[in-house]
A and B are shown apart, each in its own frame.
Chain A
């Protein structure tokens, strides 16, 4: 990498870090590009040469975080134990634990995905193939072990679980962002148990 590229990468890092903190502490809507530049110690112009919009900054902050989270998963996944339902509960609990560290950031990300935005640089919330694949793997394993009926539409179950996972963050939103992750994973555990009741071989 040339000096220029290095500088650019360093600016990028600083901007993403500043944005992550401001979005979480002050709020996404409340944070201006100027505030991000100020906190990152760079010029407003250099933020704009790196990102097209605030929405794009948020999108990159979140991608960055997801990469972090899934690095953690690569380490943890082989050690997940228990029934199919148990393992799904663990996967979601790890997500809740992680996102609760900066839950307002996460809520802003979900909220932003419902706001009109056609920016090609933005990946909206919900495009998360890693999570879908993880859930499918566990469910397929459940079929192999005879815990899950084999005539079921597993992608549909995975998608339903993802929907429930996302909307449990409403609990955090209702609590004004101040909620222990355990409450969301407890809700998710109950929902998984309910669905597991229906996928059992009879």
Chain B
């Protein structure tokens, strides 16, 4: 269940011959990430300290800091890894769809399915997003860029297929869609909504948002 991304620098071009040291370092990272994922899920972002994480991973705080500059970098690495897991599926869901609504719902269905399974981590990630540092903000934005590209593609295909007007403000529509998608997680958090319930609601909201953009 616990997925941990291992970022090996330029893995594509470098032959896979890691030195013993590099291997050890990589294992340390993995252990830290696995422990961090568990603690962030259990205690939230603020509730999990680097010291707790180090202890859970069975190492010193110094060893954690050798791999990660700070807690926020560690947290973002977990989120980015998760995002990498679902990005390909989101892309595919969107491309296989016949209509713009199907495409948007399809890609968000993947995201809801993934995140509702690990709601505590998602809660923590949304909580930090309101008060994070500039550096963390920049990192998060580069992940978001990929999602927004998917949304823009889905909307563009909607225009090409004659479902949406040619002169739509695609950027605005993408932002609005993403906002309501995110806002709906509150229903999962507070009211225990399932993925199906979230999608049904999102589908209705999409109708509200896209009504004026339909061709």
Contact = CB atoms under 8 A, between A and B. Distances in A.
Contacts of A196: 212
Given A198-B209, A198-B213, 4 more contacts: A29-B131, A115-B44, A169-B130, A194-B209
A194 B179 contact: no
Q: Which 5 A-B pairs have the closest CB atoms?
A: A198-B211, A197-B212, A163-B183, A198-B212, A114-B127
Given A115-B44, A115-B46, A167-B179, A194 B169 contact: yes
Interface string B65-81: 00000000000000000
Contacts of B176: 164, 191, 194
A110 B134 CA distance: 18
A99 B113 CA distance: 34
Interface string A133-164: 00000000000000000000100110110111
How many residues of A sit at the interface, in one of the four size bands?
A: 35 or more
Interface string A8-51: 00000000000000000001110000000000000000000000
Interface residues of B, number: 39
A111 B212 contact: no
B123 interface: yes
Instruction: From A29, A114, A190, name the one whose CB has the most chain B CB atoms within 10 angstroms.
Output: A114
Nearest to A172: B130
Contacts, number: 102
Nearest to A153: B204
Contacts of B134: 176
A191 B127 contact: no
Nearest to A110: B130
A156 B204 contact: yes
A136 to B, nearest CB: 14
A199 interface: yes
B131 A27 contact: yes
A170 B129 contact: yes
B75 to A, nearest CB: 14
B122 to A, nearest CB: 9
B124 interface: yes
B128 to A, nearest CB: 7
Interface string A159-188: 110111011111001101000000000000
Contacts of A156: 204-205, 208
Contact of B211 (A108, A110, A174, A199): A199
Instruction: From B124, B130, B132, name the one whose CB has the most chain A CB atoms within 10 angstroms.
Output: B130
